[in-house]
Structure 1
Amino acid sequence: MSLPLSSSGDLAMRKDLVRLRMEMNRQQVLYHSQPLVHPFQRIKGMVSSRGTTSEHHSGKGPLMIAATVGLTLFGRRLGKVGKLARVGIMLYPLIRRLRH
Protein backbone atom coordinates (compact mmCIF):
# COMPACT_ATOMS: atom_id res chain seq x y z
CA MET A 1 0.00 0.00 0.00
CA SER A 2 1.07 3.57 -0.44
CA LEU A 3 1.92 5.69 2.53
CA PRO A 4 -0.41 8.56 3.39
CA LEU A 5 0.78 11.99 2.39
CA SER A 6 2.60 13.56 5.30
CA SER A 7 2.55 17.23 4.37
CA SER A 8 0.65 19.73 2.31
CA GLY A 9 3.75 20.12 0.11
CA ASP A 10 3.50 16.48 -0.96
CA LEU A 11 -0.20 16.93 -1.67
CA ALA A 12 0.49 20.03 -3.77
CA MET A 13 3.19 18.20 -5.75
CA ARG A 14 0.81 15.34 -6.40
CA LYS A 15 -1.90 17.74 -7.62
CA ASP A 16 0.59 19.43 -9.92
CA LEU A 17 1.64 16.07 -11.32
CA VAL A 18 -1.99 15.13 -12.01
CA ARG A 19 -2.57 18.51 -13.69
CA LEU A 20 0.48 18.03 -15.91
CA ARG A 21 -0.62 14.54 -16.92
CA MET A 22 -4.11 15.78 -17.75
CA GLU A 23 -2.67 18.62 -19.84
CA MET A 24 -0.40 16.19 -21.67
CA ASN A 25 -3.36 13.92 -22.44
CA ARG A 26 -5.40 16.92 -23.62
CA GLN A 27 -2.60 17.98 -25.98
CA GLN A 28 -2.33 14.44 -27.38
CA VAL A 29 -6.07 14.28 -28.04
CA LEU A 30 -5.96 17.66 -29.81
CA TYR A 31 -2.99 16.62 -31.92
CA HIS A 32 -4.51 13.31 -33.01
CA SER A 33 -7.95 14.79 -33.69
CA GLN A 34 -6.71 17.44 -36.14
CA PRO A 35 -7.04 15.24 -39.28
CA LEU A 36 -10.59 14.35 -38.25
CA VAL A 37 -11.59 17.91 -37.43
CA HIS A 38 -10.05 19.48 -40.54
CA PRO A 39 -10.21 16.90 -43.37
CA PHE A 40 -10.08 19.54 -46.12
CA GLN A 41 -6.74 20.83 -44.84
CA ARG A 42 -5.37 17.31 -45.04
CA ILE A 43 -6.62 16.91 -48.62
CA LYS A 44 -5.22 20.33 -49.51
CA GLY A 45 -1.87 19.32 -48.05
CA MET A 46 -1.87 16.12 -50.09
CA VAL A 47 -2.63 18.01 -53.29
CA SER A 48 -0.01 20.69 -52.64
CA SER A 49 2.65 18.11 -51.73
CA ARG A 50 1.97 16.38 -55.04
CA GLY A 51 3.71 19.24 -56.84
CA THR A 52 6.93 18.72 -54.91
CA THR A 53 9.02 15.73 -55.87
CA SER A 54 10.97 13.71 -53.38
CA GLU A 55 12.64 10.34 -53.41
CA HIS A 56 10.48 8.89 -50.64
CA HIS A 57 7.18 10.05 -52.17
CA SER A 58 4.79 7.10 -52.39
CA GLY A 59 2.91 8.34 -55.48
CA LYS A 60 -0.48 8.02 -53.85
CA GLY A 61 -2.37 11.13 -54.75
CA PRO A 62 -5.99 11.89 -53.93
CA LEU A 63 -7.22 10.26 -57.14
CA MET A 64 -5.26 7.09 -56.40
CA ILE A 65 -6.63 6.94 -52.86
CA ALA A 66 -10.20 7.47 -54.11
CA ALA A 67 -9.76 4.70 -56.68
CA THR A 68 -8.42 2.34 -54.03
CA VAL A 69 -11.34 3.05 -51.71
CA GLY A 70 -13.83 2.65 -54.57
CA LEU A 71 -12.36 -0.68 -55.61
CA THR A 72 -12.28 -1.86 -52.02
CA LEU A 73 -15.99 -1.15 -51.69
CA PHE A 74 -17.21 -2.23 -55.14
CA GLY A 75 -14.37 -4.34 -56.58
CA ARG A 76 -15.96 -7.72 -56.03
CA ARG A 77 -19.08 -6.66 -57.90
CA LEU A 78 -17.01 -5.81 -60.98
CA GLY A 79 -15.67 -9.36 -61.35
CA LYS A 80 -12.58 -9.74 -63.55
CA VAL A 81 -12.42 -6.03 -64.30
CA GLY A 82 -12.30 -5.22 -60.59
CA LYS A 83 -9.59 -7.79 -60.02
CA LEU A 84 -7.50 -6.36 -62.87
CA ALA A 85 -8.01 -2.84 -61.56
CA ARG A 86 -6.86 -3.88 -58.07
CA VAL A 87 -3.74 -5.47 -59.55
CA GLY A 88 -3.14 -2.30 -61.57
CA ILE A 89 -3.40 -0.13 -58.47
CA MET A 90 -0.92 -2.35 -56.64
CA LEU A 91 1.56 -2.25 -59.56
CA TYR A 92 1.18 1.45 -60.38
CA PRO A 93 3.77 2.72 -57.82
CA LEU A 94 6.31 0.18 -59.09
CA ILE A 95 5.77 1.13 -62.73
CA ARG A 96 5.92 4.82 -61.87
CA ARG A 97 9.18 4.33 -59.99
CA LEU A 98 10.67 2.41 -62.92
CA ARG A 99 9.67 5.21 -65.34
CA HIS A 100 11.61 7.75 -63.29
Structure 2
Amino acid sequence: MNLPEIPQNSSRREMRKALIRLRMEMHRQEIRHESQQLLQPLQRMRGLGQSWQAGLGIKHAPLWGVAAVTLLGFFTGKGAKGGGVSSLTRIVRLGTTLVPLIKLVMQGSSRKN
Protein backbone atom coordinates (compact mmCIF):
# COMPACT_ATOMS: atom_id res chain seq x y z
CA MET A 1 0.00 0.00 0.00
CA ASN A 2 1.42 3.37 -1.01
CA LEU A 3 1.09 5.74 1.90
CA PRO A 4 1.05 9.42 1.09
CA GLU A 5 3.76 11.61 2.54
CA ILE A 6 2.57 13.70 5.48
CA PRO A 7 4.75 16.71 6.26
CA GLN A 8 5.35 17.57 9.91
CA ASN A 9 4.11 21.16 9.64
CA SER A 10 0.92 20.58 7.70
CA SER A 11 -2.28 22.54 7.79
CA ARG A 12 -5.71 21.10 8.48
CA ARG A 13 -6.41 21.16 4.78
CA GLU A 14 -3.30 19.10 3.98
CA MET A 15 -4.18 16.65 6.76
CA ARG A 16 -7.68 16.20 5.33
CA LYS A 17 -6.26 15.59 1.87
CA ALA A 18 -3.88 13.00 3.27
CA LEU A 19 -6.74 11.33 5.15
CA ILE A 20 -8.86 11.19 1.99
CA ARG A 21 -5.93 9.69 0.07
CA LEU A 22 -5.52 7.03 2.75
CA ARG A 23 -9.23 6.19 2.61
CA MET A 24 -9.12 5.95 -1.20
CA GLU A 25 -6.10 3.65 -1.03
CA MET A 26 -7.82 1.44 1.55
CA HIS A 27 -10.91 1.31 -0.64
CA ARG A 28 -8.78 0.26 -3.65
CA GLN A 29 -7.16 -2.46 -1.56
CA GLU A 30 -10.56 -3.74 -0.38
CA ILE A 31 -11.87 -3.87 -3.95
CA ARG A 32 -8.74 -5.71 -5.11
CA HIS A 33 -9.04 -8.22 -2.26
CA GLU A 34 -12.76 -8.82 -2.84
CA SER A 35 -12.28 -9.30 -6.59
CA GLN A 36 -9.51 -11.83 -5.95
CA GLN A 37 -11.79 -13.75 -3.62
CA LEU A 38 -14.58 -13.72 -6.20
CA LEU A 39 -12.29 -14.95 -8.97
CA GLN A 40 -10.60 -17.62 -6.86
CA PRO A 41 -13.10 -20.45 -7.68
CA LEU A 42 -12.79 -19.69 -11.39
CA GLN A 43 -8.99 -19.78 -11.23
CA ARG A 44 -9.15 -23.01 -9.24
CA MET A 45 -11.38 -24.61 -11.89
CA ARG A 46 -9.03 -23.49 -14.68
CA GLY A 47 -6.07 -24.97 -12.84
CA LEU A 48 -7.97 -28.17 -12.14
CA GLY A 49 -8.87 -28.58 -15.80
CA GLN A 50 -5.32 -28.00 -16.96
CA SER A 51 -3.79 -30.31 -14.37
CA TRP A 52 -6.39 -32.98 -15.12
CA GLN A 53 -5.61 -32.88 -18.84
CA ALA A 54 -1.86 -32.92 -18.21
CA GLY A 55 -2.10 -35.66 -15.58
CA LEU A 56 -4.04 -38.01 -17.80
CA GLY A 57 -2.10 -37.10 -20.92
CA ILE A 58 -5.29 -36.27 -22.79
CA LYS A 59 -4.67 -34.56 -26.09
CA HIS A 60 -7.47 -32.65 -27.79
CA ALA A 61 -9.60 -32.56 -24.64
CA PRO A 62 -12.21 -30.17 -26.12
CA LEU A 63 -12.66 -32.57 -29.03
CA TRP A 64 -13.20 -35.43 -26.60
CA GLY A 65 -15.76 -33.33 -24.76
CA VAL A 66 -17.69 -32.70 -27.97
CA ALA A 67 -17.57 -36.43 -28.74
CA ALA A 68 -18.93 -37.28 -25.29
CA VAL A 69 -21.79 -34.79 -25.64
CA THR A 70 -22.57 -36.16 -29.11
CA LEU A 71 -22.64 -39.72 -27.80
CA LEU A 72 -24.93 -38.74 -24.94
CA GLY A 73 -27.21 -36.95 -27.36
CA PHE A 74 -27.48 -39.97 -29.61
CA PHE A 75 -28.04 -42.46 -26.84
CA THR A 76 -30.41 -40.43 -24.70
CA GLY A 77 -32.26 -38.59 -27.45
CA LYS A 78 -35.85 -39.49 -28.20
CA GLY A 79 -35.60 -38.98 -31.97
CA ALA A 80 -38.24 -37.30 -34.11
CA LYS A 81 -41.82 -38.33 -33.40
CA GLY A 82 -43.30 -39.50 -36.67
CA GLY A 83 -40.05 -38.76 -38.49
CA GLY A 84 -39.28 -42.46 -38.75
CA VAL A 85 -35.70 -42.16 -37.49
CA SER A 86 -34.74 -45.75 -36.79
CA SER A 87 -32.00 -46.88 -34.49
CA LEU A 88 -29.91 -47.97 -37.50
CA THR A 89 -30.06 -44.47 -38.95
CA ARG A 90 -29.03 -43.03 -35.61
CA ILE A 91 -26.03 -45.36 -35.42
CA VAL A 92 -24.98 -44.42 -38.97
CA ARG A 93 -25.23 -40.73 -38.06
CA LEU A 94 -23.19 -41.36 -34.94
CA GLY A 95 -20.51 -43.15 -36.96
CA THR A 96 -20.25 -40.41 -39.57
CA THR A 97 -20.10 -37.75 -36.86
CA LEU A 98 -17.31 -39.51 -35.00
CA VAL A 99 -15.16 -40.53 -38.00
CA PRO A 100 -12.85 -37.47 -37.72
CA LEU A 101 -12.35 -38.15 -34.02
CA ILE A 102 -11.59 -41.81 -34.62
CA LYS A 103 -9.05 -40.90 -37.34
CA LEU A 104 -7.38 -38.44 -34.99
CA VAL A 105 -7.11 -41.06 -32.24
CA MET A 106 -5.72 -43.64 -34.63
CA GLN A 107 -3.07 -41.22 -35.92
CA GLY A 108 -2.08 -40.30 -32.37
CA SER A 109 -1.69 -43.94 -31.30
CA SER A 110 0.34 -44.83 -34.41
CA ARG A 111 2.77 -41.94 -33.73
CA LYS A 112 3.42 -43.16 -30.18
CA ASN A 113 4.43 -46.66 -31.33
- Fold equivalence (TM over 0.5): no
TM-score, with length taken from structure 2: 0.33
Structure whose alpha-carbon radius of gyration is higher: 2
TM, length-normalised to structure 1 = 0.36
